[in-house]
């Protein structure tokens, strides 16, 4: 890969009072350009990741980035969308723009979800499933993953201990992430036990198994490797792979996450590395069952044996392969369009040694998995600091 990340910005995630979609976008866009040391006049192309699906009355949002600075007027700007992997789809589009000759590409991911009433949030998110089969699923998208968790339990036994351990791990990690929506160490016992504050939501999934509804934005600046090496920092893409699978879960074995498996296999081959070479991974824990299955799909464990990784501390921040040192979607929040960009920003911060309290010591190579739907849109990046 020739593209490199040379600047970035990240808003706090959560219920952001007083913010609009436009303000979220323009703030991180301005900060990312400043961090990269470039001006609006240097930007050759703009890509905005924005899912929407009913969260914003303002659609056709690509040009909102131009509100950052009048000097962005007349720059090509495109909005991309691929469900919960929208942010990574925007990053990939930005890489293609660099490969096509754009010197600097500004990639922004943003979503404002919390101003939407609860029932509408569920209906909007369910649009990322195959409606002819799943459109009437109780509890919306949580219900879809509740069915996945139930099927996994039927095949491999009750995994409630592992799901609670994943939730507890990610919430503990999120305490030190200043961008995270929930900075509270909930502890294993709270995550494991059903309670008034932690009720069952769908199937075997409790509230602590589900990612948060969030507002937020992130942005990054891409350029070619030659230009990047002359700048203050350069985080190179060793690999960036995209695999799209069937939308209906009935057409595949949903417990295999085969699109995730394919994306990881292609990325590791492209990068010329193995999982043992990675310093950490940021993976898509929209629900704890997703992180559990992703362990197996990426090749860390055999099918049905992912639980031992978290229960034995393998994926802890101080484990052999830290997974979600940022706190993941579980603690950090999941503003749909921003999530994939956020994962790339936080991974870049780790590799640059600028991650503060969530820093993984001596981080050299970072892996990212971001997915849309139930393992339908699958994106894997492997990042390496070259300056």
Q: What was the pLDDT predicted at 2?
A: 83
210 by DSSP, 3-state: which? strand
N-terminal to C-terminal alpha carbon distance within the chain: 15
CA 145, CA 141: separation in Å to the nearest integer?
Answer: 7
| Residue 177 neighbours by CB under 8 Å, 6+ apart | 183, 326, 327, 331, 332, 357, 358
User: What number of other Cβ atoms are within 10 A of residue 184's Cβ?
Assistant: 12
Residue spans of alpha helices (H) in 229-374: 258-271, 288-298, 307-311, 328-332, 336-351
Q: What was the pLDDT predicted at 202?
A: 97
Catalytically annotated residue among 35, 242, 284, 334: 334
Q: What was the pLDDT predicted at 244?
A: 98
288 by DSSP, 3-state: which? helix
CA 235, CA 282: separation in Å to the nearest integer?
Answer: 16
CA 209, CA 217: separation in Å to the nearest integer?
Answer: 23
Angle between helices 258-271 and 288-298 (to 10 degrees): 50
| Series of mean pLDDT values for 10-residue runs along the chain (387 residues) | 93 98 98 98 98 96 98 98 98 98 98 95 95 94 97 98 98 98 98 98 98 98 98 98 98 98 98 98 98 98 98 98 98 98 98 98 98 98 97
Pairing of strands 280-282, 45-49: unpaired
Q: What was the pLDDT predicted at 1?
A: 59
Tens digit of each residue's pLDDT (9 = 90 or more) over 239-277: 999 999 999 999 999 999 999 999 999 999 999 999 999
| Residue 253 neighbours by CB under 8 Å, 6+ apart | none
Where are the extended beta strands (E) located within 208-354? 215-224, 235-244, 280-282
In the 8-state DSSP scheme, what is residue 70?
G
Q: What is the dihedral of CA 326, 327, 332, 337, to 10 degrees?
A: 70
Catalytically annotated residue among 84, 191, 210, 260: 84
0.85 exceeded by pTM: yes
CA 258, CA 273: separation in Å to the nearest integer?
Answer: 20
Check if 334 is active-site: yes
User: What number of other Cβ atoms are within 10 A of residue 302's Cβ?
Assistant: 9
| Residue 194 neighbours by CB under 8 Å, 6+ apart | 200, 206
Q: Concatenated DSSP letters for 116-153?
A: S-HHHHHHHHHTTS-HHHHTT-TTHHHHHHHHHHHHHH
CA 324, CA 281: separation in Å to the nearest integer?
Answer: 6
How many helices (H) and strands (E) are present in the chain, helices listed first?
13, 11
Tens digit of each residue's pLDDT (9 = 90 or more) over 352-383: 999 999 999 999 999 999 999 999 999 999 99
**Inter-CA distances, 312 with 154, 156, 169, 170, Å:** 23, 18, 12, 15
Q: What was the pLDDT predicted at 39?
A: 98
Q: What angle do CA 84, 89, 95 make, to 5 degrees?
A: 155
Cβ pair 72, 40 in contact under 8 A: yes
């Amino acid at each position: 890969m020739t593209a490199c990340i040379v600047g970035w910005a990240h808003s706090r995630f959560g219920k952001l009072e007083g913010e609009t979609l436009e303000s979220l976008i323009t703030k991180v866009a301005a900060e990312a350009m400043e961090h990269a040391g470039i001006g609006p006049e240097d930007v050759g192309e703009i890509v905005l990741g924005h899912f929407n699906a009913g969260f914003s009355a303002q659609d056709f949002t690509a040009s909102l980035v131009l509100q950052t600075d009048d000097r962005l007027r007349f720059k090509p700007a495109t909005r991309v969308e691929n469900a919960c992997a929208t942010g990574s789809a925007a990053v990939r589009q930005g890489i293609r723009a660099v490969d096509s000759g754009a010197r600097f590409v500004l990639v922004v991911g943003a979503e404002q979800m919390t101003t939407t009433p609860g029932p509408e949030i569920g209906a909007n998110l369910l649009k990322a499933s195959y409606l002819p089969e799943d459109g009437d699923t109780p509890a919306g998208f949580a219900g879809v993953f509740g069915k996945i968790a139930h099927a996994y339990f039927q095949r491999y036994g009750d995994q409630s201990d592992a799901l609670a351990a994943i939730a507890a791990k990610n919430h503990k990690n999120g305490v030190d992430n200043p961008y995270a929506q929930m900075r509270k160490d909930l502890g294993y016992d709270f995550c494991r036990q059903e309670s008034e504050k932690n009720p069952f939501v769908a199937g075997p999934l409790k509230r602590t198994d589900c990612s948060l509804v969030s507002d937020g934005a992130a942005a990054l600046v891409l350029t070619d490797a030659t230009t990047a090496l002359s700048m203050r920092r350069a985080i190179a893409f060793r690999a960036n792979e995209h695999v799209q699978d069937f939308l209906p879960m009935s057409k595949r074995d949903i417990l295999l996450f085969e699109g995730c498996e394919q994306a990881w296999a292609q990325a590791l081959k492209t990068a010329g590395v193995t999982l043992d070479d990675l310093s950490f991974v940021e993976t898509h824990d929209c629900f704890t069952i997703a992180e559990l299955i992703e362990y197996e799909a990426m090749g860390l464990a055999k099918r049905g044996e992912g639980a031992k990784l978290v229960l034995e501390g393998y994926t802890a921040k101080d484990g052999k392969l830290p997974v979600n040192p940022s706190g993941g979607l579980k603690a950090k929040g999941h503003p749909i369009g921003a999530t994939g960009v956020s994962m790339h920003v936080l991974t870049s911060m780790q590799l640059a040694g600028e991650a503060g309290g969530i820093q993984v010591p001596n981080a050299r190579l970072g892996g990212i998995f971001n997915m849309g739907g139930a393992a339908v849109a699958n994106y894997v990046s492997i990042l390496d600091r070259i300056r």
